[in-house]
């Protein structure tokens, strides 16, 4: 049985005769347990290839505004894939989508007073799913929002492009029920609502952030995100100094990032045990061979899936918390300050205003499996 539910949310149209702003539409295939979130249409002018992060910072990609919708079913989110089609229904090359981030406003992150980043995907991520034995618990009416950064370097303008995000879910009546596994994001230098970049001096250096968790649990797997000259990200027990897990950067001959490894602790096993109210430290390590200080050139974070011992002790969203409000405000201005892509047809450099947070994932370094947390911004 296929039924569909329109949960379309119109965004404000441009005020100067620009085309109507894209909408998002949600359809449910309840026999396949797939949700299709269709966003568009988007007109994407051709742009030059991006050499590096700096070009992303200068607005060389097109960030959409946040497009809101509600999650419609009871169950567990367990995977996704992305399809791009043009106005005639023809396939559009996948790499035109530089990255896409899904925010869940109905749940907080474990470490930060900021909305959950339910998922993110980059150019080459492909289909992603976890075994049916685990999943991210979801309830009807959960408020989600997505934004996309486009980079069309196909050599021709693309018009009327739609992004279809197919989200897989496990229904509530599955027996046995999946284990609740939620995204966890650990950044070495995050200011919620602001930036997470930092300077990298020549040679070896580290940047670290210490935290405690309000609820213990098990880490099922981790990935990492770094920029050029990154060596790795590790998680340490800050009370003993012991390294609990790490992901390593693969670099080319010049030290530029090729990819960051991932680690699975086995979804059926115990995973990596983390205790409540115990001090942990996430550490990003760089080895910069350029001989120069790389100003705001670095990011380092670890992301994973975390199974809390007690879901009831997951911290609740506090809408009055100034930190949480800063997170919301930073999401609201996304894609707006430099003009939405509809107002922005010729691909010139934007002024890179503070709110044009073009970067969620590295440009040239955007590689398969690099997690996208939606917090990063380069200002």
What residues line the site for Cu ion (CB under 5 A)?
Answer: 299, 362, 376
166 or 188, CB closer to Cu ion?
188
Q: Which is it for strands 179-180 and 134-138: parallel, antiparallel or unpaired? A: parallel
| In the complex, minimum distance from the CB of residue 226 to Cu ion, in angstroms, rounded to a whole number | 8
122 or 362, CB closer to Cu ion?
362
Residue 252 in tokens: 């080319």
Residue 225 in tokens: 């995100």
47 or 188, CB closer to Cu ion?
188
| In the complex, minimum distance from the CB of residue 360 to Cu ion, in angstroms, rounded to a whole number | 7
Q: What is the sign, positive or negative, of the torsion defined by CA atoms of 192, 141, 333, 128? A: positive
Residue 69 in tokens: 């919708």
Smallest Cα–Cα separation from 146: which of 100, 81, 85? 100
Smallest Cα–Cα separation from 119: which of 111, 355, 107? 107
| In the complex, minimum distance from the CB of residue 299 to Cu ion, in angstroms, rounded to a whole number | 4
| In the complex, minimum distance from the CB of residue 362 to Cu ion, in angstroms, rounded to a whole number | 5
| In the complex, minimum distance from the CB of residue 225 to Cu ion, in angstroms, rounded to a whole number | 6
Phi, psi of 330 (to 5 degrees): -70, -30
335 or 362, CB closer to Cu ion?
362
Rounded to whole angstroms, how far apart are CA atoms 308 and 274? Answer: 9
User: By three-state DSSP, how is residue 19 classified?
Assistant: coil
Residue with smallest beta-carbon separation from Cu ion: 299
215 or 361, CB closer to Cu ion?
361
Q: How many CB atoms lie within 10 A of CB 83?
A: 15
| In the complex, minimum distance from the CB of residue 197 to Cu ion, in angstroms, rounded to a whole number | 7
227 or 344, CB closer to Cu ion?
227
99 or 107, CB closer to Cu ion?
99
| In the complex, minimum distance from the CB of residue 222 to Cu ion, in angstroms, rounded to a whole number | 17
Q: HEC states along 168-218? A: EEEECCCCCCCEECEEEEEECCCCCCCCCCEEECCEEEEEEEEECCCCCEE
């Amino acid at each position: 049985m296929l039924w569909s539910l329109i949960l379309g949310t119109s965004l404000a149209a441009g005020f100067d005769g620009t085309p109507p702003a894209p909408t998002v539409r949600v359809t449910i295939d309840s026999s396949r347990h797939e949700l299709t979130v269709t966003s568009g249409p988007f007109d994407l002018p051709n742009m030059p290839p991006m050499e590096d992060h700096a070009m992303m910072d200068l607005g060389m990609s097109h960030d959409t505004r946040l497009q809101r919708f509600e999650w419609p079913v009871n169950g567990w989110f367990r995977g996704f894939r992305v399809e791009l089609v043009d106005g005639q229904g023809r396939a559009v090359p996948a790499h035109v989508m530089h990255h896409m981030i899904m925010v869940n406003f109905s749940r907080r992150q474990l470490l930060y007073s900021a909305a959950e980043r339910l998922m993110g995907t980059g150019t080459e991520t492909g289909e992603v799913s976890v075994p049916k034995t685990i999943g991210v618990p979801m309830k009807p009416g959960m408020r989600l929002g997505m934004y996309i950064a486009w980079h069309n370097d196909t050599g021709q303008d693309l018009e009327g492009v739609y992004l279809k995000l197919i989200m897989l879910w496990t229904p509530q009546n599955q027996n046995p029920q999946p284990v609740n596994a939620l995204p966890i994001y650990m950044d070495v230098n995050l200011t919620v609502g602001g930036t997470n970049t930092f300077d990298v001096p020549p040679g070896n250096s580290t940047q670290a952030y210490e935290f405690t968790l309000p609820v213990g649990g098990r880490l099922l797997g981790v990935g990492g995100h770094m920029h050029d000259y990154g060596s790795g990200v590790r998680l340490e027990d800050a009370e003993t100094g012991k390294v609990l897990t790490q992901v390593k950067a693969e670099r080319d001959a010049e030290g530029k990032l090729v990819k960051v490894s991932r680690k699975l602790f086995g979804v059926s096993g115990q995973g990596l045990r983390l205790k409540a109210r115990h001090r942990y430290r996430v550490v990003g390590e760089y080895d910069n061979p350029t001989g120069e200080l790389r100003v705001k050139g670095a990011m380092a974070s670890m992301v994973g899936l975390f199974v809390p011992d007690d879901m009831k002790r997951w911290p609740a969203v506090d809408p009055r918390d100034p930190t949480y409000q800063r997170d919301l405000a930073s999401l609201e201005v996304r894609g707006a300050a430099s003009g939405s892509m509809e107002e922005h047809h010729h691909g010139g450099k934007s002024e890179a205003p503070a709110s044009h947070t073009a970067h969620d994932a590295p440009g040239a370094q955007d590689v398969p499996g690099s997690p996208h947390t939606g917090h990063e911004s380069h200002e």
